[in-house]
Amino acid sequence: MAQLAACGKTYVSDLETGRRQPTAAIAAALDRALDAGGELVALAETRPGRPLLEQADALQQGLHEALAAGPMTDATLEDWTYTVARHGRATRYRPEGELLPELLADFGDLRLLLSRPQASRARRQLTVAAAHMSGLMALTLLKLGDPRSRAWWRTGRAAATAAEDRATLSWMYAQEAYQLYYSSDIGGAVELAVRAQHLAGGLPCVGPALAAPLEARAQAMLGRRGEAEEALQRAELALLRLPVEQHIGSAFGYSESQLRFHAGNAWTHLGDTSRAAEQHVRALELYPAAEVMDRALVQLDQAMCAAASGDAAGAAVRATTTIVDLPEDHRSALIIYRAREVAARVPEARTVPEVRVLREVLALPAGCEGVDSGAHRAGDRARR
C-alpha cells in the first residue's frame, strides 16, 4: 500500500491506528490506490474538528487534482509553456526566496500531470517543461547557496535526455557549468561548458551562447589566455546566431548585456583591466535597472579591476557600496562570494580603512537584526 501511494510504511501504519491524519495529497493517493472513488478524499476533507481554512485548502487541492486528471489539451500545454517562460524571466529580477515557493507549487502540479498517462506529444512537452523547471530549481538553490542544487541538475539532464531534446540538454550542461564555476571547480566548469557546446552542434540555441563565455571566464581563471580569447570569439558568434526572440532577460535566453558582463569578467581574470573596463561600462549601459543581481556582479568586477590596479581603497569602497545598496533579499550567497573575492585580492591592505569596512560588512550575518543599519553605517564610512 505504501508503495502504491508513494509514502512510507510507518505513515500507513499510523493512519490505520489513528495516530495521524492524512494530508490531502496522501488521501488522494490512497484513494487512487484502493480505487475508492473519492470516498477516502471525502473522509479526509470532512473529519471532525478540522479548521475551516484547512478544509478550504483540502477542497482546493482536491478540486485541482480532479481537474488535472482530465484530458490534456493544447490549451493546457500552452499554459505550461507560458508558466515555465514566466519563471525563467522572474529569475532575472525576483529574489530567490520569493521565487522558490512558486516553483515548488508549480512543480507539484507538473509532477501530477506526468504521473498520469499522456499522449506521446503531450508527454514529451511536459518532460521538456520538467527539464526546464529542474534547471530553474537548481539555479534558485545555487543562488541561495544550497548544495542540493546539484541533485536538480541530474533530474533536469534526465528529463532532457528522456525528451530527446538536444537544445535543452545543452542548456542544462551550460547552466550546470556555472554551478561548478562558483563552487571553484574550474576544470569541471570548462568540461561541462565544452560539453554544452558540443551537444548543441550547429543548433542556434541558448546552450552554446551561455557556455562559451563561461568557458572563457574559467579558462581565464586558469591563466590560459589563448583558450579564453578563442572562447570569447565563439561567444560572440553564438550570440549572433541566436534567434532574436531569445535575446531576452531570462534564464532561457541570452543577451548582449550578459555577454559584456561575462567578457568583462574574463578580461578581469586575465588582468587586462583596460579591456575589462570597456566591457563593464557597456554592460551597465545595457542592463535594465531591475536586473540588480547582474548589475551588482558587474560592479564587483569593477572592484576586482581596481584591486588589480593597486587601488585597494577604491576596490573596497566599490564592493562595500555595491552590497549596501542592494536590497537585503538580493544579497545572495553568490554576491557575498564575489565580494569576498575582492577582499581576498588585497590581503596585504587590511590596515586600509576602506578594506576594514568591507571586511566588517562581509562579517555581518545576513538576516540578523540590525544588519541593514550596520551595513549602511559601514557603507557611509566607506563612502566618506
- Report the share of the chain in percent with pLDDT over 70: 89
Using N-to-C axis directions, what is the helix angle for 225-241 and 206-221, rounded to 10°? 160
Please identify which residue in the block is written with the cell numbers 534567434. 243
Instruction: Determine the distance from the C-alpha atom of residue 158 to the mean position of all C-alpha atoms in its chain, rounded to a whole number.
Output: 18
CB under 8 A, 24+ apart: contacts of 12-18: none
Domain boundaries, the chain: 1-47+56-67, 291-384
The model's pTM is 0.75
Please identify which residue in the block is written with the cell numbers 495521524. 20
Distances in whole angstroms, Cα of residue 326 to Cα of each of 171, 239, 259, 300, 321: 29, 29, 22, 12, 8
Q: What pLDDT is stored for residue 370 in this prediction?
A: 39
In angstroms, the CA 341 to CA 152 distance is 27
184 and 148 Cβ atoms separated by less than 8 Å: no
- Report, as an integer, the average pLDDT of 196-222: 95
**pLDDT band at residue 54, thresholds of 50, 70 and 90?**
low
- Looking at this protein, which amino acid is placed at residue 177? A
291 and 300 Cβ atoms separated by less than 8 Å: no
Q: What pLDDT is stored for residue 29 in this prediction?
A: 85
**Report for 200-204, 212-216, 348-352: range of highest mean pLDDT:** 212-216
**pLDDT band at residue 262, thresholds of 50, 70 and 90?**
very high
Q: What pLDDT is stored for residue 5 in this prediction?
A: 78
- Report the share of the chain in percent with pLDDT over 90: 45
275 and 267 Cβ atoms separated by less than 8 Å: yes
Which residue, 214, 234, 216, is CA-closest to 225? Answer: 216
Q: In the predicted model, what is the mean pLDDT of the chain?
A: 85
In angstroms, the CA 76 to CA 8 distance is 32
Per-residue pLDDT of 287-343, as tens digits, reads 998 888 889 999 999 998 988 888 888 888 888 888 888 888 888 777 888 888 888
Per-residue pLDDT of 217-237, as tens digits, reads 999 999 999 999 999 999 999
